[in-house]
Structure 1
Amino acid sequence: MGFSSLSSLSSSSSSSSHSPSSATSSTEENAHFVDFNELQATGHAKNNEEHVLILTPLKNAAAYLPHYFDMVDALNYPKHLISLAFLVSDTTDDTVSILKSKANEFLNSDDGSGRGYNSFSIFEKDFDYDLPEGRRHEFELQPLRRSFMARARNYLLTAALKDEHAWVLWLDVDVTQYPSTILEDLQSVDVDVVVPNCLRESEDNGFWGYDKNNWQETRQSLEMQKTLDPEYVLLEGYIDHITDRYLMVDMPTHLKKLDKVPLDGVGATFTLVKSSVHREGVNFPAYPYQHQVETEGFAKMAKAMGFGVYGLPSYLIYHIYNE
């Protein structure tokens, strides 16, 4: 399948001192000028009218989309400052048709300000990667699976990131519960990359850690890596392949919600990134980078470039239960 997109704007966005300026000179009518010195992502994003781009890669996601959109639409953040973009890959269900139906609704909805969402984009790119759903978490298949996921994220990021976006939110389609204030809450921490603690409901109605890709290196984990082949990819959550890292799902959750801890790896169930991190070249490696690929490789790359990566152990969100 080729590359296609559906994108439109419901209205022009309000300008502010924290948005990039764009101007065309009378003598250079075809020039497009953007001053990125004025683009800021701050701890007061809502007051400063800073734009957020929500990115979600999808494959056969039709069953999850209704709840996904209900949760996004319940966010307190101003609708006209939110752009949504999706990359649909190797899909055989009604994902694309559902997205197209939602696009018109979201671009023309009224949140009281007379404006809907800033934009809604749909991109398609197949990678001809077909993995049976029941095998998607097998250890041996993870490096290849995560490599394809990294490629999908990079396609989506480069296609969707626009001049006005100060923040990028990577959001899984099957996250089931998060506070309506989560964008403002995470922005108020004012760091380059920040993630909440993602749990899942178990079959016995208990709660267990879900996103085990949020972690800190330890002395033992760093020592173990000295003996590894450079191409070896480390993965979390497999009892036969212990990494000795400190997972955020194992950290205390009774402290203040916005108390942050430094992380060395992150997942992407709900990952908020200042757009400057991506603009300066930090993406999702589809190859082993410091023994990681995709989202954890992104965190390693961000830290290597001097950006701060943090987690909030006591800020809980929830993911659907799946095998």
Structure 2
Amino acid sequence: MLRFGEHPKKTDLPLHQDFKPKKKTVAEKRRLYKVGASVLAVIIILFLWLKPGSNDESSSTIQDETFINTQDSEVKIYDITADGIQDVSETGVPKESEKEALDIEYYDLIDYQGNPQSKANGDKVLLCVPLRDAEKVLPLLFRNMMNMTYYHNLIDIAFLVSDCSKGDRTMEKLTEYSIAMQQGKLLELLDGEKSALKAKGMKGSSDLYLHYLPEDYVNNVKAAYSPPYHEEYTKPFRSVQIYQKDFGQVIGQGFSDRHDVKVQGIRRKLMGRARNWLITSALKPYHSWVYWRDADIETSPGDILENLMRFSSSYDVIVPNVWRPLPTFLGDKQPYDLNSWIESEEGLKLAQTLDEDDVIVEGYAQYPTWRVHLAYIRSDEGDKDEVVELDGVGGVSILSKAKVFRQGSNFPAFTFLNHAETEAFGKLTKKMGFKIAGLPHYTIWHIYEPSEDDLLEISRLERKKRRYRND
């Protein structure tokens, strides 16, 4: 194999080709090229300096620009401005103060890997929040974001609003809350809205479930949204981005609609498209972490980011457990997110019996996988530092090193190993060599969304109460 600049030996040429040596050697030609290039550079510099009007401060004819001269794989970078020409190459990387003048950004991605000391190191987090018909839960979302103790000036927030119903005001309220939060006025705004809502009183059976939740849970929720607040609470975040794009999602947002087994495959694939669109648009090279968060979380520890990051020496993706409260007549509480699991032999055998495009959905009798679910190995008294390795993950709360996405993992918007979206993300990420962890006893709480049957039972209980009062 010939290297650049080498001449082939005569024996390397075909027999029919007549080889005649050049009059000058390569070394001689290179010397001539360098001399010529140097003379040309001097002429250009003199021309720029001596051009009429160049010394007139009131009418500078030299615009700010960057001139890059490449010669024999050597890169020379010149900053050409009205103040003159400055060689900023040195080792090929300009000083920090010169990067802005050049309008060139340099990133060594080895510096953005994410580790347990990320908060102390000043590592930046991208918080991704997909939203759809989320107007009602936005106050919860923003209060939980403000409650994060990870330095707010290290968190970039990226919202994606998509496929909202006609008349929904998610975009309007999201914009209003975002501006108020960045101005330090959101707490006052939310408290004012809460007081106004309380003054109206509860109306309709859709809100009556609050009377039937466990008393200790209701008290915990009240405490979570009451002062005193930590010092980061009202501080603005590093940035807020709001994106709007529809993906053709027509499945309703009601509990029964979203959890119908018939629509799960279609729904998950569309959600995968939305997540991929958001991460592709918002991820920057300076992000060390990506935190995916659903809007309908009711309570979550303020230091959740720091806690999940503690396991990053051994794992690249970390998820907490997700439960939800239930009315007392249904048992007080139950596991919510069943998409975080450990693969089983039964699950693998089931996949072999399905068509290539079929999507396995956990928690449905049609798909008996017998996997170990993170949600079901939770204990109230369990060690919050206990960790288990997972194969699938749920999307309610996912902390991932940014390099996982940079190296190509995503949320498949197609059937991948008979899974889609977050569970397929788990499978794909593991196949790429990354490790996924779940914390069975570290719990965040999803809001309770009453089903139609629940609402009917609540209505029956309310009628029963009224009869007793009348008697």
What band does the TM-score fall into relative to the shorter chain?
0.7 to 0.9
CA contact (8 A) 1:88 1:123 kept: yes
**How far off is 1:251 after superposition?**
1.0
**How far off is 1:149 after superposition?**
0.5
Superposed CA deviations along residues 180-222 of structure 1, whole A, max 9, x for unmatched, are: 1111100111120011110011122611000000001112222
Superposed CA deviations along residues 149-173 of structure 1, whole A, max 9, x for unmatched, are: 0011011111111222111111010
Whether 1:67 aligns to 2:140 is yes
Whether 1:267 aligns to 2:394 is yes
RMSD: 2.3
Match of 1:137 among 244, 259, 275: 259
Match of 2:326 among 172, 178, 202: 202
CA contact (8 A) 2:107 2:285 kept: yes
Secondary structure of the 2:118 match is coil
Match of 2:247 among 127, 141, 159: 127
Structure 1 equivalent of residue 180 of structure 2: 105
Q: 1:106 to 1:227 in 2, by over 3 A?
A: same
Whether 1:87 aligns to 2:160 is yes
Q: 1:113 to 1:62 in 2, by over 3 A?
A: closer
Structure 2 equivalent of residue 78 of structure 1: 151
Distance 1:61 1:181 in 2: 24
Structure 2 equivalent of residue 227 of structure 1: 353
What's the TM-score once normalised by structure 1's chain length? 0.88
Name the amino acid aligned to 1:240: Q
**How far off is 1:108 after superposition?**
3.2
Distance 1:47 1:35 in 2: 19
Secondary structure of the 1:289 match is coil
Distance 1:89 1:97 in 2: 13
Structure 2 equivalent of residue 45 of structure 1: 118
Deviation larger for 298-307 or 228-237: 228-237
Distance 2:352 2:269 in 1: 23
**How far off is 1:113 after superposition?**
11
Name the amino acid aligned to 1:235: V
Superposed CA deviations along residues 76-113 of structure 1, whole A, max 9, x for unmatched, are: 11110111111001113111111111222232339569
Distance 1:77 1:244 in 2: 37
Name the amino acid aligned to 1:246: V
Distance 2:257 2:290 in 1: 30
Match of 1:183 among 305, 311, 315: 305
**How far off is 1:116 after superposition?**
2.2
Secondary structure of the 1:199 match is strand
CA contact (8 A) 1:88 1:125 kept: yes
Structure 2 equivalent of residue 150 of structure 1: 272
CA contact (8 A) 2:151 2:232 kept: no
Distance 1:68 1:50 in 2: 23
Secondary structure of the 2:319 match is strand
Whether 1:117 aligns to 2:237 is yes
Secondary structure of the 1:64 match is helix
CA contact (8 A) 2:318 2:438 kept: yes
Superposed CA deviations along residues 231-253 of structure 1, whole A, max 9, x for unmatched, are: 22100111232122111111142
What's the TM-score once normalised by structure 2's chain length? 0.61
Aligned-residue sequence identity (percent) comes to 36
Whether 1:286 aligns to 2:408 is no
Structure 2 equivalent of residue 96 of structure 1: 171
Q: 1:229 to 1:40 in 2, by over 3 A?
A: same
Q: 1:67 to 1:51 in 2, by over 3 A?
A: same
**How far off is 1:304 after superposition?**
0.4
Distance 2:163 2:350 in 1: 37
Structure 1 equivalent of residue 63 of structure 2: none
Q: Which is helix-richer, 1 or 2?
A: 2
**How far off is 1:39 after superposition?**
1.4
Superposed CA deviations along residues 135-157 of structure 1, whole A, max 9, x for unmatched, are: 22111111001111001101111
Name the amino acid aligned to 1:72: M
Distance 2:234 2:245 in 1: 34
Name the amino acid aligned to 1:122: I
Name the amino acid aligned to 1:195: V
CA contact (8 A) 2:343 2:391 kept: yes
Structure 1 equivalent of residue 384 of structure 2: 257
**How far off is 1:33 after superposition?**
2.5
Secondary structure of the 1:63 match is helix
**How far off is 1:22 after superposition?**
9.7
Secondary structure of the 1:208 match is strand
CA contact (8 A) 1:24 1:32 kept: no
Larger radius of gyration: 2
Match of 2:285 among 163, 174, 181: 163
Q: 1:24 to 1:89 in 2, by over 3 A?
A: farther
Distance 2:323 2:117 in 1: 28
Deviation larger for 214-223 or 125-134: 125-134
Could you tell me which runs of 5 or more consecutive residues in structure 2 were left unpaired when the two chains were aligned: 1-93, 186-230, 452-471
Q: 1:90 to 1:166 in 2, by over 3 A?
A: same
Distance 2:115 2:438 in 1: 17
Could you tell me which runs of 5 or more consecutive residues in structure 1 were left unpaired when the two chains were aligned: 1-20
CA contact (8 A) 1:109 1:117 kept: no
